[in-house]
Chains A and B, each alone.
Chain A
Amino acid sequence: MANSRDIYKKGSLDLLILSLLSVRDCYGYELTQLMNELSEGVISVPSGSLYPALYKLESFGYISEYTVKSGKRRQRIYYHIEEPGRKYFSEQLAAYNSVIRATQKIFSWQGDDHDSN
Protein backbone atom coordinates (compact mmCIF):
# COMPACT_ATOMS: atom_id res chain seq x y z
CA MET A 1 0.00 0.00 0.00
CA ALA A 2 1.27 3.46 -0.86
CA ASN A 3 2.53 5.68 1.92
CA SER A 4 -0.21 8.18 2.87
CA ARG A 5 2.23 11.07 2.46
CA ASP A 6 2.93 9.88 -1.09
CA ILE A 7 -0.75 10.23 -1.97
CA TYR A 8 -0.80 13.91 -0.94
CA LYS A 9 2.57 14.51 -2.53
CA LYS A 10 1.51 13.08 -5.90
CA GLY A 11 -1.25 15.60 -6.39
CA SER A 12 0.85 18.56 -5.37
CA LEU A 13 4.18 17.73 -7.02
CA ASP A 14 3.55 20.01 -10.00
CA LEU A 15 2.74 22.84 -7.59
CA LEU A 16 5.86 22.20 -5.51
CA ILE A 17 8.07 22.26 -8.60
CA LEU A 18 6.47 25.44 -9.96
CA SER A 19 6.68 27.06 -6.54
CA LEU A 20 10.45 26.50 -6.31
CA LEU A 21 11.03 27.48 -9.93
CA SER A 22 9.07 30.68 -9.43
CA VAL A 23 11.79 31.72 -6.98
CA ARG A 24 14.78 30.71 -9.10
CA ASP A 25 15.93 28.36 -11.83
CA CYS A 26 17.03 24.97 -10.50
CA TYR A 27 18.44 21.71 -11.83
CA GLY A 28 16.81 18.36 -11.09
CA TYR A 29 18.88 17.20 -8.14
CA GLU A 30 18.70 20.69 -6.63
CA LEU A 31 14.90 20.53 -6.71
CA THR A 32 14.80 17.23 -4.82
CA GLN A 33 17.32 18.50 -2.28
CA LEU A 34 15.42 21.77 -1.77
CA MET A 35 12.12 19.97 -1.26
CA ASN A 36 13.72 17.65 1.26
CA GLU A 37 15.40 20.49 3.17
CA LEU A 38 12.49 22.94 3.15
CA SER A 39 9.98 20.29 4.23
CA GLU A 40 12.43 19.05 6.91
CA GLY A 41 12.47 15.58 5.41
CA VAL A 42 8.69 15.17 5.23
CA ILE A 43 8.60 15.49 1.46
CA SER A 44 11.27 13.57 -0.40
CA VAL A 45 10.78 13.33 -4.11
CA PRO A 46 12.82 10.65 -5.85
CA SER A 47 14.28 11.41 -9.27
CA GLY A 48 12.01 8.75 -10.73
CA SER A 49 8.99 10.84 -9.74
CA LEU A 50 10.48 14.26 -10.36
CA TYR A 51 11.50 13.92 -13.99
CA PRO A 52 8.19 12.68 -15.43
CA ALA A 53 6.54 15.66 -13.71
CA LEU A 54 9.16 18.01 -15.18
CA TYR A 55 8.71 16.52 -18.67
CA LYS A 56 4.96 16.94 -18.37
CA LEU A 57 5.24 20.59 -17.29
CA GLU A 58 7.70 21.17 -20.12
CA SER A 59 5.36 19.61 -22.68
CA PHE A 60 2.63 22.04 -21.57
CA GLY A 61 5.02 24.96 -22.01
CA TYR A 62 4.95 25.86 -18.32
CA ILE A 63 8.68 25.42 -17.91
CA SER A 64 11.69 25.33 -20.21
CA GLU A 65 15.15 23.89 -19.85
CA TYR A 66 18.63 25.06 -20.66
CA THR A 67 21.98 23.41 -20.29
CA VAL A 68 24.87 24.86 -18.34
CA LYS A 69 28.25 23.25 -18.67
CA SER A 70 29.70 22.62 -15.24
CA GLY A 71 33.15 21.14 -15.11
CA LYS A 72 34.76 19.01 -17.77
CA ARG A 73 32.28 16.19 -18.19
CA ARG A 74 29.19 17.46 -16.46
CA GLN A 75 26.23 19.29 -17.91
CA ARG A 76 23.53 20.62 -15.66
CA ILE A 77 20.04 21.01 -17.05
CA TYR A 78 18.35 23.97 -15.41
CA TYR A 79 14.59 24.42 -15.45
CA HIS A 80 13.03 27.82 -15.84
CA ILE A 81 9.39 28.77 -15.25
CA GLU A 82 7.70 30.44 -18.22
CA GLU A 83 4.88 32.99 -18.15
CA PRO A 84 2.09 30.39 -18.76
CA GLY A 85 3.67 28.41 -15.90
CA ARG A 86 3.45 31.37 -13.54
CA LYS A 87 -0.19 31.89 -14.48
CA TYR A 88 -0.97 28.20 -14.05
CA PHE A 89 0.85 28.18 -10.70
CA SER A 90 -1.13 31.11 -9.30
CA GLU A 91 -4.41 29.52 -10.45
CA GLN A 92 -3.52 26.15 -9.00
CA LEU A 93 -2.26 27.68 -5.77
CA ALA A 94 -5.56 29.49 -5.30
CA ALA A 95 -7.46 26.26 -5.96
CA TYR A 96 -5.16 24.35 -3.59
CA ASN A 97 -5.65 26.89 -0.82
CA SER A 98 -9.41 26.82 -1.22
CA VAL A 99 -9.37 23.02 -1.00
CA ILE A 100 -7.19 23.20 2.13
CA ARG A 101 -9.56 25.70 3.74
CA ALA A 102 -12.57 23.57 2.83
CA THR A 103 -10.85 20.44 4.15
CA GLN A 104 -10.02 22.20 7.40
CA LYS A 105 -13.65 23.20 7.79
CA ILE A 106 -14.72 19.59 7.34
CA PHE A 107 -12.10 18.38 9.83
CA SER A 108 -13.13 20.97 12.41
CA TRP A 109 -16.81 20.13 12.22
CA GLN A 110 -18.12 19.03 15.62
CA GLY A 111 -21.68 18.25 14.67
CA ASP A 112 -24.65 20.61 14.89
CA ASP A 113 -28.05 20.93 16.47
CA HIS A 114 -29.67 19.15 13.53
CA ASP A 115 -28.19 15.83 14.70
CA SER A 116 -29.15 16.31 18.32
CA ASN A 117 -32.78 16.86 17.29
Chain B
Amino acid sequence: MIMTATEKYIRDVRRLITVYGKNEKKFIANLRNDLISYCDAHPETSDYDSITKEFGSPRDMYVHYLESQDDRYLVHSTRRHIIIRRTLLLLCIGVTVIVVLFGYHYQQANRRFRDSLPASYSETIHINSSSTESPAEESDALHP
Protein backbone atom coordinates (compact mmCIF):
# COMPACT_ATOMS: atom_id res chain seq x y z
CA MET B 1 0.00 0.00 0.00
CA ILE B 2 2.79 2.38 0.99
CA MET B 3 4.85 1.46 -2.06
CA THR B 4 1.87 1.84 -4.34
CA ALA B 5 1.14 5.43 -3.28
CA THR B 6 4.84 6.33 -3.39
CA GLU B 7 5.41 4.73 -6.75
CA LYS B 8 2.22 6.27 -8.16
CA TYR B 9 3.39 9.72 -7.09
CA ILE B 10 6.86 9.10 -8.57
CA ARG B 11 5.29 7.85 -11.80
CA ASP B 12 3.07 10.95 -12.01
CA VAL B 13 6.07 13.27 -11.55
CA ARG B 14 8.14 11.30 -14.07
CA ARG B 15 5.38 11.58 -16.67
CA LEU B 16 5.66 15.37 -16.53
CA ILE B 17 9.41 15.43 -17.07
CA THR B 18 10.06 16.04 -20.75
CA VAL B 19 13.83 15.74 -20.70
CA TYR B 20 14.97 12.84 -18.53
CA GLY B 21 18.67 13.50 -18.03
CA LYS B 22 21.21 12.70 -15.33
CA ASN B 23 19.92 15.38 -12.93
CA GLU B 24 16.32 14.30 -13.40
CA LYS B 25 17.23 10.69 -12.71
CA LYS B 26 18.99 11.80 -9.54
CA PHE B 27 16.05 14.01 -8.57
CA ILE B 28 13.59 11.13 -8.94
CA ALA B 29 15.84 8.88 -6.82
CA ASN B 30 16.09 11.57 -4.12
CA LEU B 31 12.36 12.21 -4.24
CA ARG B 32 11.70 8.49 -3.83
CA ASN B 33 13.94 8.48 -0.73
CA ASP B 34 12.06 11.48 0.67
CA LEU B 35 8.71 9.81 0.10
CA ILE B 36 9.90 6.64 1.79
CA SER B 37 11.21 8.70 4.73
CA TYR B 38 7.83 10.44 4.98
CA CYS B 39 5.90 7.17 4.79
CA ASP B 40 8.14 5.60 7.44
CA ALA B 41 7.64 8.62 9.73
CA HIS B 42 3.87 8.70 9.14
CA PRO B 43 2.74 5.13 8.54
CA GLU B 44 -0.86 5.98 9.42
CA THR B 45 -1.12 8.67 6.72
CA SER B 46 0.90 7.45 3.81
CA ASP B 47 -1.77 7.31 1.12
CA TYR B 48 -1.60 9.30 -2.11
CA ASP B 49 -3.66 12.23 -0.78
CA SER B 50 -1.43 12.62 2.29
CA ILE B 51 1.67 12.52 0.11
CA THR B 52 0.13 15.19 -2.13
CA LYS B 53 -0.71 17.30 0.92
CA GLU B 54 2.85 17.04 2.24
CA PHE B 55 4.81 17.31 -1.02
CA GLY B 56 2.34 19.14 -3.26
CA SER B 57 0.77 17.75 -6.40
CA PRO B 58 3.11 16.11 -8.94
CA ARG B 59 2.52 19.11 -11.20
CA ASP B 60 3.53 21.53 -8.41
CA MET B 61 6.58 19.41 -7.70
CA TYR B 62 7.68 19.58 -11.33
CA VAL B 63 6.94 23.32 -11.56
CA HIS B 64 9.10 23.92 -8.46
CA TYR B 65 11.81 21.79 -10.01
CA LEU B 66 11.74 23.76 -13.26
CA GLU B 67 11.59 27.13 -11.50
CA SER B 68 14.65 26.30 -9.45
CA GLN B 69 16.71 25.31 -12.43
CA ASP B 70 19.52 27.40 -13.77
CA ASP B 71 18.52 29.27 -16.97
CA ARG B 72 21.48 27.84 -18.86
CA TYR B 73 20.54 24.31 -17.82
CA LEU B 74 16.97 24.84 -19.00
CA VAL B 75 18.10 26.21 -22.37
CA HIS B 76 20.64 23.42 -22.75
CA SER B 77 18.18 20.65 -21.88
CA THR B 78 15.47 22.11 -24.12
CA ARG B 79 17.96 22.33 -26.99
CA ARG B 80 19.03 18.74 -26.35
CA HIS B 81 15.37 17.66 -26.33
CA ILE B 82 14.84 19.35 -29.71
CA ILE B 83 17.99 17.73 -31.14
CA ILE B 84 16.90 14.28 -29.91
CA ARG B 85 13.43 14.76 -31.40
CA ARG B 86 14.83 15.90 -34.75
CA THR B 87 17.34 13.04 -34.82
CA LEU B 88 14.60 10.51 -34.11
CA LEU B 89 12.41 12.08 -36.79
CA LEU B 90 15.25 11.93 -39.33
CA LEU B 91 15.98 8.34 -38.30
CA CYS B 92 12.33 7.39 -38.82
CA ILE B 93 12.29 9.08 -42.24
CA GLY B 94 15.58 7.35 -43.15
CA VAL B 95 14.31 3.93 -42.09
CA THR B 96 11.04 4.48 -43.99
CA VAL B 97 12.92 5.49 -47.18
CA ILE B 98 15.25 2.47 -46.88
CA VAL B 99 12.30 0.11 -46.36
CA VAL B 100 10.42 1.59 -49.33
CA LEU B 101 13.53 1.40 -51.58
CA PHE B 102 14.30 -2.13 -50.45
CA GLY B 103 10.70 -3.17 -51.08
CA TYR B 104 10.74 -1.59 -54.53
CA HIS B 105 14.02 -3.27 -55.51
CA TYR B 106 12.85 -6.59 -54.11
CA GLN B 107 9.67 -6.34 -56.14
CA GLN B 108 11.65 -5.42 -59.28
CA ALA B 109 14.08 -8.31 -58.78
CA ASN B 110 11.22 -10.69 -58.17
CA ARG B 111 9.52 -9.56 -61.36
CA ARG B 112 12.75 -9.88 -63.38
CA PHE B 113 13.23 -13.38 -62.04
CA ARG B 114 9.69 -14.37 -62.93
CA ASP B 115 10.06 -12.82 -66.42
CA SER B 116 13.29 -14.72 -67.03
CA LEU B 117 11.52 -18.05 -66.51
CA PRO B 118 10.04 -19.62 -69.72
CA ALA B 119 6.31 -19.59 -69.86
CA SER B 120 6.21 -23.36 -70.60
CA TYR B 121 8.67 -26.07 -71.43
CA SER B 122 8.43 -29.59 -72.71
CA GLU B 123 10.52 -32.56 -71.72
CA THR B 124 10.98 -35.66 -73.84
CA ILE B 125 12.24 -38.84 -72.27
CA HIS B 126 13.86 -41.31 -74.68
CA ILE B 127 14.00 -44.87 -73.40
CA ASN B 128 16.78 -46.95 -74.92
CA SER B 129 15.58 -50.50 -75.59
CA SER B 130 19.05 -52.06 -74.87
CA SER B 131 18.97 -50.79 -71.34
CA THR B 132 15.76 -52.67 -70.59
CA GLU B 133 17.47 -56.06 -70.12
CA SER B 134 16.44 -58.06 -67.07
CA PRO B 135 18.84 -58.13 -64.09
CA ALA B 136 19.38 -61.91 -64.57
CA GLU B 137 20.61 -61.36 -68.09
CA GLU B 138 22.99 -58.64 -66.90
CA SER B 139 24.37 -61.00 -64.27
CA ASP B 140 25.02 -63.77 -66.85
CA ALA B 141 26.83 -61.29 -68.99
CA LEU B 142 29.14 -60.29 -66.16
CA HIS B 143 29.80 -63.87 -64.86
CA PRO B 144 29.73 -66.23 -67.84
Q: How far is the CA of A57 from the CA of B69 in the complex (A)?
A: 12
The distance from the CB of A59 to the nearest CB of chain B, in whole angstroms, is 9
Query: Is B48 interfacial (CB 8 A cutoff)?
Result: no
Q: Say yes or no for A16: interface residue by CB 8 A criterion.
A: no
- CB pair A48–B68 under 8 Å, yes or no, is yes
What is the CA–CA distance of A10 and B27 in the complex, to the nearest angstrom? 19
Residues of B within 8 A of A30 (CB): 37
- Say yes or no: A29 contacts B65, CB within 8 Å: no
Query: B114 to chain A: closest CB distance in Å?
Result: 64
Contacts of B34 in A (CB 8 A): 28-29, 32, 47
Report if A12 contacts B (CB, 8 A).
no
B78 to chain A, nearest CB (A): 16
Residue contact A46 to B60, C-beta cutoff 8 Å: yes
- Category for how many chain B residues contact A: 20 to 34
Docked complex Cα distance between A51 and B61 (Å):
11
- Interface positions, chain B 87-136, Cβ under 8 Å from A, are none
A residues less than 8 Å from B33 (CB atoms): 27-29, 74-77
- Per-residue CB contact flags for chain A residues 51-64 toward chain B (1 = under 8 Å, else 0) read 11101100000000
Number of A-B contacts (CB under 8 A): 65
Chain A positions 67 through 82: 1 when the CB is less than 8 Å from some CB of chain B, otherwise 0: 0000101111100000
User: Does A48 contact B56, Cβ atoms closer than 8 Å?
Assistant: yes
Chain A residues, CB < 8 A from B38? 29
Interface size on A, residues (CB 8 A): 22
Check if B68 sits within 8 Å of A52, measured CB to CB. yes
Which B residues are in CB contact (< 8 Å) with A56?
Answer: 70
Chain B's closest residue to A2 (CB) is B67
B36 within 8 A of A: yes
- With contact pairs A48-B56, A48-B64, A49-B67 given, residues A55 and B37 touching in the complex (Cβ less than 8 Å): no
Residue-by-residue, is B20-42 near A (CB-CB < 8 Å gives 1, otherwise 0)?
A: 00010011001101101110100
B residues apposed to A, CB below 8 Å:
23, 26-27, 30-31, 33-34, 36-38, 40, 55-56, 60-65, 67-70
What 5 A-B pairs come out closest when comparing CB atoms?
A48-B64, A48-B65, A52-B68, A29-B34, A48-B61
Which residues does A use to contact B, with CB under 8 Å? 10, 13, 27-30, 32, 46-49, 51-53, 55-56, 71, 73-77
Q: Apart from A74-B36, A77-B33, what are 6 other A-B pairs with CB-CB below 8 Å? A: A13-B68, A47-B64, A49-B68, A56-B70, A74-B40, A76-B37
